[in-house]
Amino acid sequence: MAIINRGNISDLRGITRLAVDATVGITDLVEKLHHTIQLSHPPVGTSRAGNTSGLTGFVYRTIRGTTRMVGKGLDVGLAPVTALLPEQTSNATRDAFVSALNGTYGDHLEQTNNPLAIEMKLRFEGQAVDIEQPGEMQDVFTDKVLLFVHGLCLNDNHWTRDGHNYGKELAVELGYTPLYLRYNTGLPIAKNGRDLAEILENLFRDWPHQVKELVVVGHSMGGLVAKSASHHGSLASHEWRQHLHSLVSIGTPHHGAPLERGGNWLDQAMGLSPYAVPFTRLSTKRSAGINDLAHGTITAVERDFVPLPADVKCYAMAAVLGKKQTRMVEQLTGDGLVPLDSALGRSKHPDRTLAFPESHQWVGFETGHIELLGHPGVYAQLRKWLE
């Protein structure tokens, strides 16, 4: 018989809050559309719709108020129960659901203090690392550290795929200590980069050995977060930056992902009609993390270009779905999500091209974006670069 734990109640509170927010949001949408129809708007033009008035407005306000009151009552009632239950045990299915939810609505979850919001943590062999006392792991930690940073809507468990775990294999063959970051991928990439830089500064302050080498491997968004951490660590003159030896990006949209840019264009097109404007509120609810992927933004300034760090060896791995490399495959499909040029840091503007040396680039064929996480060729090249 399954035992209810704190995590179950915490998740229920989080889902309840999201349900309340969604109900209130849909009520707002319906009211705006209702008001647009009342105003007899022409099909094209700027919307003048606001909240309805009179009895109609009272009905909408009542729906919102009742929904919030019921949600608050459930939240308050469940809160004291949490402390009476045993701690939560890890569950891969639950972790995958929460990670996907954070990727889509992570900034909203954090802003509303939702229990489902993921707190950034470093993990080792499936357990959280105490960054204030890493010396307790002296027997298993080495002087070579390999940090893996996952992509959008994923978590550290996804680094094990198709029977491969790059970290464990490189630990055995090259003596690295593999650490894995788990974080809220819906937050701005710049914020995750700054937070990671701070965590690494605290971690290496009490590392049980003199660190010889730090390598950071990022998949998809993870490559941008890693680059952002390097950038912010340099700006803050962090000591850990002196140990950073290599940055490896795998399927990372250095110059953005066209699918996200397409979403932004659709939002603008829908905004041309006052009857479609209410529905753009749904499409624009994408998280800040997803929006940053549109142009590969890693600082607080959109489209701010940050070159590769000159004091770090930087590598780029990419993939295409086709059997061979052609411009159509590179531009239109890439690995299914990221075009080849973006993954390799190439730009039509020379001053924005990331200078990955030819020997620091690798391209896999007949390979998709997620398949890069468990690809024999990826591991072989990683090992070759790092040994």
pLDDT tens-digit series, residues 120-141? 999 999 899 988 887 677 788 9
Same domain, yes or no: 148 and 16: no
Residue at which a domain ends, from 45, 68, 89: 89
Which has more confidence, 72 or 95? 95
What is d(CA 287, CA 107) in angstroms, rounded to the nearest whole number? Answer: 6
pLDDT of res. 253: 96
For the ranges 167-176, 327-336, 371-380, the lowest mean pLDDT is seen at 327-336
**Range 4-14 average pLDDT:** 59
**What's the total number of domains in the chain?**
2
* 382 and 319 belong to one structural domain: yes
Tokens of residue 256, six digits: 């953005």
Is residue 105 included in any domain, yes or no? no
Average pLDDT of the segment spanning 343-366: 94
Q: Does one domain contain both 160 and 236?
A: yes
Distance between CA atoms of residues 172 and 311, nearest Å: 27
129: in domain: yes
Residue 96 within any structural domain of the chain: no
Residue 219 has pLDDT above 90, yes or no: yes
The answer, yes or no, to whether residue 331 has pLDDT greater than 80, is no
| Same domain (yes/no): 41, 144 | no
* Domain limit, last residue, from 89, 105, 136: 89
Predicted confidence (pLDDT) at residue 384 exceeds the cutoff of 90: yes
User: What is the Cα–Cα distance from 94 to 100, expressed in whole angstroms?
Assistant: 10
Q: Are residues 220 and 308 in the same domain?
A: yes
| Identity at 94, one-letter amino acid code | R
Residue 131 sits in a domain of what CATH number? Answer: 3.40.50.1820
194 lies in the same domain as 334: yes
Q: Which two tokens stand for residue 360?
A: 């620091």
Give yes or no for a contact between 38 and 48, defined as CB atoms under 8 angstroms apart: no
Is the residue at 61 inside a domain? Answer: yes
Predicted pLDDT at 61: 67
Q: What is the pTM of this model?
A: 0.79
Residue where a domain stops, chosen among 69, 89, 109: 89
Number of helices and strands (H, E) in the chain? 12, 10
Q: Is residue 322 part of a domain?
A: yes
The mean of the pLDDT values for the chain is 80
Residue 69 and residue 150 share a domain: no
Distance CA 14, CA 245 (A): 40
**Backbone Cα Rg of the chain:** 23
CB atoms within 10 A of CB 126: 11
Whether 61 and 176 map to the same domain: the answer is no
Predicted local confidence at residue 259, as pLDDT = 63
Report which listed range, 41-45, 62-66, 228-232, is most confident.
228-232
- Asked if residue 269 is part of any domain, the answer here is no
Mean pLDDT is lowest, of 129-138, 202-211, 294-303, for 129-138
pLDDT the model gives residue 282? 46
147 shares a domain with 23? no
What's the pLDDT band for 55 if we cut at 50, 70, 90?
low
Range of the structural domain that residue 47 is part of: 6-89
pLDDT > 70? residue 64 = no
**CA-CA-CA-CA dihedral for 125, 131, 135, 141, to nearest 10:** 40
pLDDT of residue 32: 59
The whole-number average pLDDT for the span 29-58 is: 53
Give domain status of residue 106, yes or no: no
295 and 213 within one domain: yes
Q: Which tokens sit at 204?
A: 């290496």
pLDDT in tens, 274-297: 434 444 454 456 789 988 988 899
To which H or E segment does residue 127 belong?
Answer: strand 127-128
String of DSSP letters for 51-107 = ---HHHHHHHHHHHHHHHHHHHHHHHHHHHHHTTSPPPPP-HHHHHHHHHHHHHHHH
What is the predicted pLDDT for the residue at 323?
A: 78
Same-domain check for residues 192 and 332: yes
- Residue 105's closest CA among 197, 187, 198, 179? 187
Does residue 283 fall inside a structural domain?
no
Give the pLDDT score at 90: 64
pLDDT mean over 206-222 = 95
Contact 27, 253 (CB under 8 A): no
Same structural domain, 81 and 125: no
